């Protein structure tokens, strides 16, 4: 079984990315053959600054490696080091009805939030389809917001296969329904585009600032508080075991503590959770050449598979002699 997923290097990775995707991706190394890449081409839809992009690609690589990505067991590369995907993107574009792209939620959301539109942003799901289909992926672990893109990939693959025969493998999205959408500090979906994130490896000071910013109601200290719809509690659910959550519910119900106290408990749990990875991360930051070699090795493995598949596709559509 082949599992594939990608992450965009368009900003600092946050705990929404971690619980929505990275954690599952790392765990899936024991469940099948993992293909994981840093979606550098996708990031161009929003990032227009060379250094910012390069730093984010490096940071994403360091974070994945620190969190347990095993480059021997899995194939881990930077998308743009295997440009064959762009050829498939173009071929698939010709099997993608305009209406399909016009219905994409993520495009509509991004434009509604004021992101400047361009053709890259609009046709982004076709590139994502190419990523998935080039590697004959069976399973695609993603957050809830990406399910539609995997469905679009299936639609595109279907149209292509109806024309040329059974060439493309039909993928399935894998979503962990327990943590489908991690809320941000304002209660909306946590997203680097919305400025409501909590960093995974931020300095203690920054993480504290982000946690203290979480929006709550204004129930006074001497009143019992409701945990059910509280953003602080929702985030605690990601880090605490059942017993710890029951204890926290008790604290909410008992007057005397305020949301500031619950936020500090959350902060402790966040720091505790990521602490074991900090040392490895510092090692990779000090050894950038090692990181680059790992990515090059991954690209060479991915390229072999991509070249074989693109030759088959070129042939069926009539581009080979
Ligand atoms: P962002 O919204 O911050 O730009 P991306 O779109 O780059 O994040 O998402 C990278 C991966 O992380 C995707 O698989 C996405 O579904 C997942 N993800 C992002 N934000 C969240 C969230 N708030 N909750 C759960 N998963 C998320
Ligand atoms: N679009 C995904 C995101 O923003 C990133 C991505 C690009 C991806 N290509 C992919 C995810 C292929 C899974 C499979 O999160």
Domain boundaries, the chain: 2-180+288-317, 192-281
Angstrom distances, CA of residue 13 to CA of 54, 134, 161, 283: 14, 26, 36, 18
DSSP calls for 22-36: IHHHHHGGGTSEEEE
Residue 145's pLDDT band, with cuts at 50, 70 and 90, is confident
pLDDT of residue 106: 85
pLDDT of residue 321: 67
Ligand 2, from 92, 128, 172: best to mutate by most atoms within 8 Å of Cβ?
Answer: 128
Q: Is 24 a catalytic residue?
A: no
% of the chain surpassing 70 pLDDT: 99
Asked if residue 60 has pLDDT above 80, the reply is yes
Residue 81's pLDDT band, with cuts at 50, 70 and 90, is very high
For 12-55, the pLDDT digits (tens) are: 889 998 988 888 889 999 999 999 999 999 999 989 999 999 99
Residue 126's pLDDT band, with cuts at 50, 70 and 90, is very high
pLDDT of residue 180: 67
Equal fold, 2-180+288-317 vs 192-281: no
Q: Which CATH fold topology does 2-180+288-317 show?
A: Rossmann fold (3.40.50)
Q: Is 110 a catalytic residue?
A: yes
Is domain 192-281 classified as CATH 1.10.240.10? yes
Mean of the pLDDT values across residues 83-96? 98
Instruction: Return the DSSP state at 18.
Output: I
Q: How far is the CA of 45 from the centre of ligand 1 (A)?
A: 16
**Which residue has the least CA distance to atom 14 on ligand 1?**
142
Q: Is 205 a catalytic residue?
A: no
């Amino acid at each position: 079984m082949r599992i594939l997923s990608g992450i965009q290097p368009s900003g600092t990775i946050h705990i929404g990315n971690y619980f929505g995707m990275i954690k599952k991706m790392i765990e899936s190394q024991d469940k099948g053959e993992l293909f994981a890449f840093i979606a550098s081409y996708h990031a161009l839809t929003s990032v227009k600054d060379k250094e910012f992009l390069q730093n984010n690609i490096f940071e994403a690589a360091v974070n994945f490696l620190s969190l347990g990505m095993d480059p021997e067991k899995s194939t881990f590369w930077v998308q743009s080091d295997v440009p064959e995907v762009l050829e498939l993107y173009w071929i698939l574009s010709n099997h993608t009805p305009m209406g399909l792209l016009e219905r994409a939620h993520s495009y509509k959301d991004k434009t509604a939030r004021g992101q400047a539109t361009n053709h890259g942003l609009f046709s982004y799901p076709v590139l994502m389809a190419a990523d998935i289909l080039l590697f004959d992926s069976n399973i695609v672990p993603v957050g809830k917001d990406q399910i539609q893109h995997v469905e679009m990939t299936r639609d595109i693959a279907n149209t292509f296969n109806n024309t040329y025969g059974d060439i493309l493998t039909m993928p399935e999205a894998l979503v962990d329904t327990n943590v489908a959408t991690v809320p941000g500090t304002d209660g909306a979906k946590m997203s680097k585009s919305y400025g409501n994130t909590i960093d995974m490896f931020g300095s203690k000071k920054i993480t504290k600032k982000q946690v203290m910013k979480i929006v709550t109601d204004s129930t006074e200290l001497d009143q019992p508080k409701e945990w059910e719809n509280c953003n602080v509690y929702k985030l605690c659910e990601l880090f605490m075991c059942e017993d710890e959550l029951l204890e926290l519910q008790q604290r909410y119900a008992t007057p005397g503590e305020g949301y500031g106290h619950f936020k500090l408990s959350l902060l402790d749990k966040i720091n505790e959770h990521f602490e074991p990875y900090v040392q490895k991360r510092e090692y990779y930051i000090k050894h950038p050449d090692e990181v680059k070699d790992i990515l090059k090795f991954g690209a060479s493995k991915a390229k072999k598979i991509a070249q074989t598949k693109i030759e088959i596709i070129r042939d069926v559509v009539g581009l080979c002699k």
